[in-house]
Structure 1
Amino acid sequence: MGVHLFWPYNWYGGPQQKRQYWPIERLVLPDYSYVTKEADNCAIAEPYWLSSSGIFYYFDKKVPLFVDQNNRDKNAACFKAQIKSPYSSKRDKNDLIYAIGIFEDPRKAHEYAIENYLGKPTEIPDETMIKYPIWSTWAKYKRNIDHEVVLQYADDIKKYDFPNSQLEIDDLWETCYGSQEVDRERFPNMKDTVAKLNEKGFRVTLWTHPFINKGFETSWWNDNKTTTAYIDFTKPEARNWYIDRLKKLKNETGIDSFVFDAGETSWSPQIPELQGNIRDQPGVITADYVRAAAQLGPSVEVRTGYSLDNRKLNVDNIFNSKM
């Protein structure tokens, strides 16, 4: 079962990629599982495609969707529903449920898709983060950071009169990955570090992620050995435990917010057994991770993205068009 999309016009949407094409006609996806994943930097995979002619395709998120684009057919994308990895074999359906909208221009098509399928944000994003740069210690220092380095970084930014929305203290501020405890050899008094940065005109955020190192032996990403656990955010008790720890850390240090790394489905065991409807898996773990991050306010940064809108397509009327 499949549907084809051809390239007589410019097309937009599709998955986030490390080598991103925009418009997307030149992108090659060989039988590509449409889930968030660490591979290709595919942190966003909304099942929505919009053309410059005013046509859109939207696929129900319960579909085990695969995209074969510019692969077998060099001038088209083929969308298929298949029950195979990374989707669970316990699924009982592989219906290809989707909507097609046909409009006189792309703006009308997109506005209709937002109103009926994509949904709108429930709050206004933090305007400061959009208007001014976010400065990250990772960009300049990688993991070689401490109290003095961070303060010098802030002074260098101010010396050249660069504006800022906030300064992010990235990798190795904590004792080990997932401890959410400040490394006091690097930051003897994080509350004091934050206060001094605030005095210099910076809001302060900390880098965090959904992993815990078992036995504090190694890391989840900077070498090939892993003894890490990925928190199952589909379990409310695990999600609440994680957020409560971050709230406690925020209160203790005085930081303003957090930068949430990772969260894609591929970090979980393959194929994961998650809570909730089997047809929502594995994407639900990304959605619940984003839901958890959203509890920390409007100035969080989140690496992965997944629409949290719960509306569904009408199976009895899966082909929709409007002129």
Structure 2
Amino acid sequence: MANEELVLELLPDEYWWGGRTADGRSMPYGSSLFSVDLATYLGGNQACPLLISSKGRYVWSGEPFAFAFERSHLKVIGPGPLIQGEGYETLRGAYGYASRTFFPPVPSIPEELLFTAPQYNLWIELLYEPTQEKVLQYAGDVLAHGMPPGVIMIDDNWHEPYGTWTFHSGRFPDPGRMVQELHAMGFKVMLWVCPFVSPDSLTFRRLEPTGILLKDRSGRTAIRKWWNGCSAVLDCTNPQAVRWIHEQLEALQRDYGIDGFKFDAGDPEFYEPDDLSYVPGTTRNGHCEAWARIGLSYPLNEYRACWKLAGQPLAQRLKDKNHEWEGNGLDSLIPDGLAQGLLGYAYTCPDMIGGGQYESFSVDRLDPELFVRYAQCSALFPMMQFSAAPWRVLDEEYLRYCIEAARLHARFGSEILELAKAASVTGEPILRHMAYEFPGEGMEAVQDQFMLGSTLLVAPVVTRGARARQVMFPAGTWAGDDGSVVVGPANLLIDVPLGRLPWYRKQ
């Protein structure tokens, strides 16, 4: 099928957002050259076939497209149909129309505890060696240090071989009792799962004859290399495969009281365009979407890789970030989080505090200031997630600042929850770009502050060593966390000692 091509002339002072979450730092588009193909790579995070403009224009397609911002034009090429609209005046207007028309919100939200308390993912702390004893120790340490209980996520390798979703009997001798103890402490429990099946396992030998494993172009069971080796892959376009994975997950809920699941992988690069799937012609992005649909049955869920499904009650985490200030580190949390919201993903979570890319994270190179600023930056996102134990890697002063950030999130939890409930009706982001809320005030290029809902301006510190930072205040009166009152519009230099996360409430 021939591709369609759409060429739009860029308007004066027009800014664009959309495509891939992972390109947040390159947004807004329009002032420099930029191109990407949504059919080839999604950057390890969410993506949606949507572009929206500060001048109230949009481009949408049901299928992945390539787009390029050239000197004076936007060019979009894809299988189509490519749908273009204009006349919605602002970024908010264009987003609102696209949301209502192409991905209307579902009137339900993910598990409330994801919003109202910090989350605790055991990945960085335990890596591939989680045990029942270590999980309970971590949970007990959370409470002992005065941090609120929340969702606790037991990450990779709690299980037998990949695809055999039963607890490893050596590492978890009594998982039912463990879950009961965690529940008694106030936690809800998630388990990490993926669509892969180890090819040297009994599960593989049982599943292969059933036809629910993906086949390559030759008709043989596809074996794909991923970050943990080589595995077969569930064909989630096959209703029998979907039924099978639900049976495994529901057994964990029934037998042990597990509350939900972290659905990892599913990235398009683990599929090939000519794979022989149950639904003929399924694209690589289509397989990513099919895996993401599995999570819709579980209110307590988390995804990192997702194609489309904006407006759905899925918790969407930013991809693994490095333990660094610049690059794929702290400076990317706000731009990428804003991109998530403008792509229709309201229920968003930054990456693990300090960074979830374990190869960049070690005690001997730990930057305690960076860790604290990560925690503060995350505190007024819709969700926040610890992993490396701050009480282990930080001294008393820095630990205190992280505990304060955790408590701040819990303090705002009911307000964040109300915003999540509103998003399930309106489709609006919870974490909002300044230009979304304040069109025409020159906020389009702001990447280091955001709005939580329509009234709370948050200005975290994302620069090493900074004890002062500029904040752009829109028109109105703003009451600060430090007791100050600012009348905008104004661009002010404010003090940001290490213990401060600046936020301002519009009066």
TM-score with structure 2 length normalisation? 0.51
Aligned residues: 285
Instruction: Give the match's secondary structure for 2:89.
Output: coil
Instruction: Give the match's secondary structure for 1:119.
Output: coil
Read off the aligned partner of 1:293 and give its amino acid letter: G
The answer to whether structure 1 residue 290 and structure 2 residue 292 are counterparts is yes
The answer to whether structure 1 residue 78 and structure 2 residue 56 are counterparts is no
1:182-232 CA-to-partner distances (Å, cap 9, x unmatched) read: 111111011111111111111111000111010049996445x42x11100
Q: Give the CA deviation at 1:121.
A: 2.1
Q: Give the CA deviation at 1:150.
A: 0.8
Match runs of 1:299-310 below 5 Å: 299-308=300-309
2:99 aligns with one of 94, 108, 114: 114
The answer to whether structure 1 residue 12 and structure 2 residue 13 are counterparts is no
Change in CA separation of 1:181 and 1:124 when aligned onto 2, cut-off 3 Å: closer
Contact in 2 for aligned 1:194/1:254 (Cα 8 Å): yes
Q: Give the CA deviation at 1:293.
A: 1.6
2:276 aligns with one of 254, 273, 298: 273
Q: Give the CA deviation at 1:68.
A: 3.2
Partner Cα distance (1:19, 1:52) in 2: 16
Contact in 1 for aligned 2:110/2:301 (Cα 8 Å): no
Match runs of 1:1-323 below 5 Å: 1-5=4-8, 6=10, 8-17=13-22, 20-25=25-30, 30=35, 32-35=36-39, 37=41, 40-41=43-44, 43-59=45-61, 61-62=62-63, 65-69=65-69, 73=70, 77-81=74-78, 94-216=79-201, 221-223=226-228, 225-226=229-230, 228-276=231-279, 278=281, 281-295=283-297, 297-308=298-309
Read off the aligned partner of 1:245 and give its amino acid letter: Q
Q: Give the CA deviation at 1:134.
A: 1.3
1:124-149 CA-to-partner distances (Å, cap 9, x unmatched) read: 33232123221001032212221111
Identify the structure with bigger relative contact order (alpha carbons < 8 Å, sequence gap 6+).
Answer: 1
Read off the aligned partner of 1:65 and give its amino acid letter: F
Change in CA separation of 1:25 and 1:180 when aligned onto 2, cut-off 3 Å: farther
Q: Give the CA deviation at 1:292.
A: 1.7
Structure 1 gap segments, 5+ residues each: 82-93, 310-323
Q: Give the CA deviation at 1:21.
A: 3.2
Contact in 1 for aligned 2:242/2:294 (Cα 8 Å): yes
Partner Cα distance (2:33, 2:241) in 1: 38
Which deviates more from structure 2 when the two are superposed, residues 192-201 or residues 112-121?
112-121
Structure 2 gap segments, 5+ residues each: 205-222, 311-507
Read off the aligned partner of 2:66 and give its amino acid letter: F
Instruction: Give the match's secondary structure for 2:105.
Output: coil
Partner Cα distance (2:18, 2:111) in 1: 24
Partner Cα distance (2:122, 2:34) in 1: 34
Contact in 2 for aligned 1:274/1:281 (Cα 8 Å): no
Read off the aligned partner of 1:17 and give its amino acid letter: A
Contact in 2 for aligned 1:177/1:219 (Cα 8 Å): no
Instruction: Give the match's secondary structure for 1:204.
Output: strand
Which deviates more from structure 2 when the two are superposed, residues 12-21 or residues 50-59?
12-21
Partner Cα distance (1:120, 1:212) in 2: 33
Partner Cα distance (2:225, 2:143) in 1: 34
1:162-189 CA-to-partner distances (Å, cap 9, x unmatched) read: 2243000001100111110111111101
Change in CA separation of 1:28 and 1:176 when aligned onto 2, cut-off 3 Å: farther
Instruction: Give the match's secondary structure for 2:137.
Output: helix
Which deviates more from structure 2 when the two are superposed, residues 240-249 or residues 94-103?
94-103
Alpha-carbon RMSD: 2.8
Read off the aligned partner of 2:67 and give its amino acid letter: V
- Percent identical residues: 25
Partner Cα distance (2:95, 2:187) in 1: 37
Read off the aligned partner of 1:283 and give its amino acid letter: N
Partner Cα distance (1:117, 1:261) in 2: 26
What is the match of residue 492 of structure 2? Answer: none
